[in-house]
Amino acid sequence: GDSVTQMEGPVTLSEEAFLTINCTYTATGYPSLFWYVQYPGEGLQLLLKATKADDKGSNKGFEATYRKETTSFHLEKGSVQVSDSAVYFCALRVTGNQFYFGTGTSLTVIP
Amino acid sequence: NAGVTQTPKFRVLKTGQSMTLLCAQDMNHEYMYWYRQDPGMGLRLIHYSVGEGTTAKGEVPDGYNVSRLKKQNFLLGLESAAPSQTSVYFCASSYGGPRAEYFGPGTRLTVT
């Protein structure tokens, strides 16, 4: 069935370090892929998305490229800030009604 | 636009008590969802609705009921709460299809 596997955390980085959070997926059909961010005590917010192969989603300095050949959608940011500390969720939706979420990766950025 | 709102934000129940969580959205979305979030398990879909008057089971529906009497509201009911239902509950809505979901701020429920 459809599923998402993302890198386990927690991840701790120093400010201005490079961030990669890995996400791979299994899906029948052609999924759309998403990254959501959850700040402490809040709901999930859409960070970026890509709807077809080779699309690159980007927002707030974060990027992810939809790679069909490796079934991946890794999240990257060139220089993280303390304010990026949050939990990040990779998700997919195929044609249908349900999102499939990864288990989340907690990121802490220290000054 | 308030987006997706949830009521209440926090609740403590005793085992066997009942309660209803309310979700409301003002974006005219057809699809609405209830998830629970537990440590190390990500989000799991409880029930969803593809339109007013419709409901369907998700991944973990047991112990919950839902109703969608109005397009903008999606209610989640616990008839007899159990400690295993201690969780954070998120409501979401969307236009459907391969599009993003918009999430509410969550309800933290503790069952003792």
Phi-psi label, residue A52: left if phi above 0, alpha if psi -120 to 50, beta otherwise: beta
Question: Distance between CA atoms of A76 and A64, rounded to whole angstroms?
Answer: 6
Question: Distance between CA atoms of A71 and A86, rounded to whole angstroms?
Answer: 25
Token code pair at residue A13: 């980085």
Verify whether the Cβ–Cβ distance B43 to A89 is below 8 Å. Answer: yes
The mean pLDDT of A17-43, rounded to a whole number, is 91
Task: List the one residue out of B87, B90, B96 whose CA is nearest residue B76.
Answer: B90
| pLDDT of chain B, 112 residues: tens digit per residue | 678 999 999 999 999 999 999 999 999 999 999 999 988 777 888 999 999 999 999 889 999 999 999 999 999 999 999 999 999 999 999 887 656 788 999 999 999 9
Taking any CB pair shorter than 8 Å as contact, residues of chain B touching chain A are 4, 31, 33, 40-43, 45, 48, 50, 56, 58, 90, 92, 96-106
Of A43, A94, A95, the CB nearest to B90: A43
Is residue A5 within 8 A of residue A23, CB to CB? The reply is yes
- In the three-class reduction of DSSP (H, G, I as helix; E, B as strand; rest coil), residue B19 is classed as strand
A–B: how many Cβ contacts below 8 A?
Answer: 49
